[in-house]
Chains A and B, each alone.
Chain A
Amino acid sequence: DQQVKQNSPSLSVQEGRISILNCDYTNSMFDYFLWYKKYPAEGPTFLISISSIKDKNEDGRFTVFLNKSAKHLSLHIVPSQPGDSAVYFCAAVSSGSARQLTFGSGTQLTVLP
Chain B
Amino acid sequence: NAGVTQTPKFQVLKTGQSMTLQCAQDMNHNSMYWYRQDPGMGLRLIYYSASEGTTDKGEVPNGYNVSRLNKREFSLRLESAAPSQTSVYFCASSEARTGFQPQHFGDGTRLSIL
Contact = CB atoms under 8 A, between A and B. Distances in A.
A99 B31 contact: yes
Contacts of B33: 100-101
Interface stretch (B11-19, B66-74, B76-84, B99-107): B99-107
A66 B106 CA distance: 28
Given A101-B33, A103-B44, A104-B42, 5 more contacts: A89-B43, A99-B96, A101-B45, A105-B41, A105-B42
B104 to A, nearest CB: 7
B90 A44 contact: yes
Interface band, chain B: 20 to 34
Interface of A: 4, 6, 9, 31-32, 34, 36, 41-46, 49, 51, 89, 91, 93, 98-106
- Central interface residue in B45, B94, B103, B105, by most chain A CB within 10 Å: B103
Contacts of B43: 44, 89, 101, 103
A29 to B, nearest CB: 14
19 contacts: A6-B42, A31-B100, A36-B105, A41-B107, A42-B107, A43-B90, A43-B92, A43-B106, A45-B105, A46-B102, A46-B103, A49-B102, A98-B56, A99-B94, A100-B33, A100-B45, A101-B43, A102-B42, A104-B42
Given A89-B43, A98-B48, A46 B104 contact: yes
Nearest to A39: B107
Given A4-B42, A43-B4, A44-B90, A100 B106 contact: no
- Central interface residue in B42, B90, B100, by most chain A CB within 10 Å: B42
B61 interface: no
A103 B103 CA distance: 12
Contacts of A41: 107-108
